Structure 1
Amino acid sequence: MDRRSFLTRASVGGAAAAAGSALAAPAIAQGSPSINWRLASSFPKSLDTIYGGGEELSTRLKEASDGKFNIQVFAAGEIVPGLDAINAATDGTVESAHSVGYYNWGKDPAFACGADLPFMLSARAKAAFNYQGGGIENYNEFLDQYSLVAYPGGNTGVQMGGWYRKEIKSLEDMKGLKMRIAGLAGRVVEKLGVVPQQVAGGDVYPSLEKGTIDAAEWVGPYDDSKLGFQKVAPYYYYPGFWEGGPTVSFFFNKAKFEELPESYKSLLRTCCQAVDQNMLAKYDSKNPTALKELVGSGAQLRSFSEDILTAAFDAANEVYAELSGENEWFKKQYEAMLQYRDDWYLYAQTAEYSFDTFMMIQQRNGKLAVGGGQ
């Protein structure tokens, strides 16, 4: 081949390659429609972890679709109040919502099953149940009557048990306690003598400061640290037995979801699962430092006594029996979790628990820090 022939062929090949690169686009974007949705969040922008889940979904979808699938995120109150986000997705006010199912507890108790039930599953166990144990399918079967499709979109991990103006040493101290706690958890602690209070997030601090309420549960160290509760209710209890692994979900208007191309549905599910995993990682990363800072600023850590936890566990079972007799959808979802829970905690006692317990002992002995044990 002579030099001129080679250069001619090379230039043709190069032009073709250049044209190909100019036309290249993500496979998901080729021939796909442009979609523009709105998402109503139940959370304020100040909670970057949990509100941030909605923004992360939007970013992931936009990037993966080459800008063709867009979701605009609105914080609580910008379109509808935070507690109405799920209903806004049902009635089509928005195409999607980022919320927690138990916020719709008053509409139907079965909504809580897709979020969390007291003394049910840890975050890791809940993920296993959702993705491998039929949890997502069970929840969506229930949600069909509300014109919704939902996928997990975050988890906080086991939450703290809240802030208290006085020490809670026994069951007797729970009686008459005015506590900001809502929904199913409120119905459980009510059996212990607690008086549940519905208080909006922005009103919790002044209510504690004035003594209008005696206690309040929120989320955990990182989110709680933003609110300064330790200044007015210094006793910080654990664990939050009513939320061992609360699933935050993305709720989609079913008609709008069904209009999506199959490729977009798949992409949406994949991005939701990524957000689900990443939110838990964020909390696990931020909570340890936040807890140390809270203790340094006056928070006094306390654990609930065995008698309180046992009484609350028994009360939860009473509530579940009552609800199962009243609501078939609640019963179906609740019973699906029972065997899964039993097997999970049987297994968790072996390798996981033994390893974690040993490592915690080493931490208490000061052997885990840099240079520990030397």
Structure 2
Amino acid sequence: MDRRSFIRKAGATGAGAAAATAALAAPAIAQSNPKITWRMTSSFPKSLDTIYGGAEVLSKMLSEATHGNFQIQVFAAGELVPGLQAADAVTAGTVEAAHTVCYYFWGKDPTWALGSDVPFALNARGRNAWQYHGGGIDLFNTFLAKQGLFGLPGGNTGTQMGGWFRKEINTVEDLKGLKMRIGGFAGKVMEKLGLVPQQLAGGDVYPALEKGTIDAAEWVGPYDDEKLGFYKVAPYYYYPGFWEGGPTVHFLFSKEKYEALPAAYKSLLHTACQAEDADMLQKYDYLNTKAIKSLVANGAKLKPFSQEILSACFDAANKTYDEMMASNADFKTIWESIVAFRKEAYLWDQVAEYNFDTFMMIQQRAGKL
């Protein structure tokens, strides 16, 4: 065979091999990186840009990491379903995902609340330590699987404020008969002290406070609260919101749809959710520092709950948990896990972090920072 003939045949063979390789590779790539479009309904309005925005951040990360192949379209509360029906919409197959706070659904089963937060549980760092390294995510997903759901943490506000009050609250006696807009699970605990919980949508809270229909209202914290103008009609701003020491915001997915994802997409979804979980807390830590000063400048009167009130509420919460554990095995399993870690977490917190923070706070008060 002459040299030119050999080169022509070799070239033809090489081209054929390359075409065959391309034909084999294309389907393999398509199978591992398919085009998927999901819809996600949020429990939050767009005006709560930090919480609602968490779903948009997740959507952007997934799209960019897959060159647009994994898309999640985000819809604000009310655009597809009401905010408090977000989890139901996923279970029913109306949408593939939801961004919500699981204590919204505690009326179905109090175990839902443990996925988000309950009074006197953990702060944000403690909750994330328990979730990611103490088995919390797996424990909660064992419960969610019964609803056809799979969940991943997708945000945290940090310890919230205790709310806005039209008058000062100095003793436990002052809580009796007080009409307060407060989340359902926390309201159940506070009922034991005579408080009268009220369930109101965000847009209804200000006029109810202004007219005196309610006496107090809790929302989130300085950044979100300032937008609603509560300080104009209920100037006493109490802290801490002991019912939400570190509330987790969740991404809930159809378990069936999640399990059908390629392994690479599952891994990416876990990574992106954890990134958004951290990002939301970081945003609130930054934004609240400015908002609290602005609120005080506009007339908000910062007041701590007394130790008497905190202790009475702590005891009431423990009684509530004992009642629920006696009749609900799912609740008992998860709450006992939280309690076991809580004891160790607050022991460690007292050693290094607490002493460092306390010293630095003293310097701040002395004007040295």
Whether the 8 Å contact between 1:95 and 1:252 is mirrored in structure 2 is yes
Instruction: Identify the residue that residue 203 of structure 1 maps to in structure 2.
Output: 204
- Counterparts in 2 of 1:64 and 1:30: CA distance versus 1, 3 Å: farther
Whether the 8 Å contact between 1:155 and 1:247 is mirrored in structure 2 is yes
Whether the 8 Å contact between 2:216 and 2:234 is mirrored in structure 1 is yes
C-alpha distance after superposition, 1:168-197 (max 9, x if no partner): 011111110000012210011111110000
TM-score when scaled to structure 1? 0.90
Query: 1:135 and 2:105 equivalent?
Result: no
Instruction: Identify the residue that residue 371 of structure 1 maps to in structure 2.
Output: none
Instruction: Identify the residue that residue 4 of structure 2 maps to in structure 1.
Output: none
State how far apart, in whole Å, the 2-side matches of 1:343 and 1:190 are.
30
Q: Which amino acid aligns with 2:161?
A: M
Task: Give structure 2 stretches of 5+ with no counterpart.
Answer: 1-27
Instruction: Identify the residue that residue 24 of structure 2 maps to in structure 1.
Output: none
Instruction: Identify the residue that residue 215 of structure 2 maps to in structure 1.
Output: 214
State how far apart, in whole Å, the 2-side matches of 1:340 and 1:317 are.
16
Query: 1:287 and 2:288 equivalent?
Result: yes
Query: 1:309 and 2:310 equivalent?
Result: yes
Instruction: Identify the residue that residue 122 of structure 2 maps to in structure 1.
Output: 121
State how far apart, in whole Å, the 2-side matches of 1:183 and 1:229 are.
20
Instruction: Identify the residue that residue 226 of structure 1 maps to in structure 2.
Output: 227
State how far apart, in whole Å, the 2-side matches of 1:81 and 1:30 are.
35
State how far apart, in whole Å, the 2-side matches of 1:230 and 1:201 are.
15
Q: Which amino acid aligns with 1:291?
A: I
Query: 1:361 and 2:324 equivalent?
Result: no
State how far apart, in whole Å, the 2-side matches of 1:193 and 1:358 are.
38
Query: 1:249 and 2:288 equivalent?
Result: no
Percent of paired sites with the same residue: 65
Instruction: Identify the residue that residue 349 of structure 2 maps to in structure 1.
Output: 348
SS in 2 for 1:108: coil
Q: CA deviation at 1:31?
A: 4.4
SS in 2 for 1:196: strand
State how far apart, in whole Å, the 1-side matches of 2:318 and 2:76 are.
35
Q: CA deviation at 1:149?
A: 0.2
Query: 1:34 and 2:25 equivalent?
Result: no
Query: 1:299 and 2:300 equivalent?
Result: yes
Q: Which amino acid aligns with 1:38?
A: R
Q: Which amino acid aligns with 2:178?
A: L
Whether the 8 Å contact between 2:32 and 2:262 is mirrored in structure 1 is no
Q: CA deviation at 1:136?
A: 0.2
Instruction: Identify the residue that residue 194 of structure 2 maps to in structure 1.
Output: 193
Q: CA deviation at 1:29?
A: 7.8
Whether the 8 Å contact between 2:32 and 2:264 is mirrored in structure 1 is no
Whether the 8 Å contact between 1:139 and 1:333 is mirrored in structure 2 is yes
Instruction: Identify the residue that residue 178 of structure 1 maps to in structure 2.
Output: 179
Whether the 8 Å contact between 1:29 and 1:66 is mirrored in structure 2 is no
Whether the 8 Å contact between 1:29 and 1:65 is mirrored in structure 2 is no
Instruction: Identify the residue that residue 149 of structure 1 maps to in structure 2.
Output: 150
Q: CA deviation at 1:108?
A: 1.1
Instruction: Identify the residue that residue 327 of structure 2 maps to in structure 1.
Output: 326
State how far apart, in whole Å, the 1-side matches of 2:29 and 2:347 are.
43
State how far apart, in whole Å, the 1-side matches of 2:92 and 2:331 are.
22
C-alpha distance after superposition, 1:75-113 (max 9, x if no partner): 000001001101111111100000011001111110111
Whether the 8 Å contact between 1:29 and 1:68 is mirrored in structure 2 is no
Which stretches of structure 1, 4 residues or more, deviate above 6 A after TM superposition? 27-30
Instruction: Identify the residue that residue 96 of structure 1 maps to in structure 2.
Output: 97
C-alpha distance after superposition, 1:231-270 (max 9, x if no partner): 0000000000000000000000111111111111111111
